[in-house]
Structure 1
Amino acid sequence: MKMKFVLTLADAKRVAAAAAEEAQRNGWSVVIAIVDDAGLLVYLERLDGVQPASCDIAQAKARAAALFKRPSKALEETVAGGRVALLSLPHIIPVEGGLPLVYEGQVIGAIGVSGVQSFEDGIVAKAGADALGASA
């Protein structure tokens, strides 16, 4: 048997709050999705004024980051580098804005952000992911 850390609802809310604070500081309307290590939704926050499609996109970015244990930007770079076969795999979202949430070396979930330009989504996601480590 192996011990496994689990993302709690309190953790997810702390991550989302830090991400929302970063988005609001920049005047960005986004959706913030937090998933567990299986890519299942734990918490979703939709800021005022964001496009409805961002709800699905944020969840998809988070799911990809959790299941592939890497930032969605890494998937984007791989596809942009010519490895388009990745697009046929399930749960691939090759767009920046999804980051794994890591605690003591284990991926315990992920954050996905959508609503502004993808590099801005990445900034918001990083603020959220960094909050997990800040008090862990």
Structure 2
Amino acid sequence: MKPLILALVLLAAPVAVHAQTAPAPTAPAAPAPPYGAPIRLEAAQALIERAEAAAEARGFRMAFAVVEPSGSLVAFGRMDDVQYGSIGVSQAKARSAALFRGTTAAAEARVLGGRTVSLAVDDLMPLAGGVPIIVDGRIVGALGVSGASSAEDDEIARAALGQ
């Protein structure tokens, strides 16, 4: 009987709650550039041609997508014998970069850093290779590249944009 009473007393006793330490405040990030008028077809096609030339120079087979700020496709290109999966991935990378006003490399870094809740966000593609297209300080669209490693996809996208 004593063990039962002791157990009940222990269960009823207040339990010390350990305080959680709040994360240290960080400096606010600079605001993302505003949206501008959507990229025109001619400019989108020129970007794809530059990306294709950069990919050919490295011996890659890739897919390239350019979207306007809304994420809607403006132009698409793919090299011969690119894996079919890269078609949709290039479009998803471009859409993500446009909709979230940032590179998909940054999204990938957040997920790899432990911010896995980002994976639940619709239209967020956390694989490098999607880069916003900025003209006169405004986002006019985004370029998405797929076909190699995510780091190489990002390298080709940045080369096409002259970054």
Query: What is the TM-score with the length of structure 2 in the denominator?
Result: 0.76
User: Partner of 2:145: helix, strand, or coil?
Assistant: strand
Alignment length (residue pairs): 129
- TM alignment of 1:113-128, pairs within 5 A: 113-128=145-160
Give the structure 2 partner of residue 19 of structure 1.
51
- TM alignment of 1:88-99, pairs within 5 A: 88-99=120-131
Maintained 8 Å contact 2:61/2:147: yes
Q: Percent identity?
A: 36
Give the structure 2 partner of residue 60 of structure 1.
92
Give the structure 1 partner of residue 135 of structure 2.
103
Give the structure 1 partner of residue 102 of structure 2.
70
Maintained 8 Å contact 2:36/2:139: no
Give the structure 2 partner of residue 84 of structure 1.
116
RMSD after superposition: 1.4
Residues of 2 paired with 1:40 and 1:31: CA distance? Answer: 16
Structure 1: gaps spanning 5 or more residues: 132-136
Q: 2:81 aligns with which of 37, 45, 49?
A: 49
Deviations 1:5-31 (A, max 9, x none): 330000101111110100001110000
Residues of 1 paired with 2:133 and 2:97: CA distance? Answer: 9
User: Partner of 2:39: helix, strand, or coil?
Assistant: coil
User: Partner of 1:111: helix, strand, or coil?
Assistant: strand
Give the structure 2 partner of residue 134 of structure 1.
none
Which letter does structure 2 place at the counterpart of 1:22? Answer: A
**Greater fraction helix:** 1
Which letter does structure 1 place at the counterpart of 2:73? Answer: L
Which letter does structure 2 place at the counterpart of 1:79? Answer: V
Query: What is the TM-score with the length of structure 1 in the denominator?
Result: 0.91
Check if 1:39 corresponds to 2:59. Answer: no
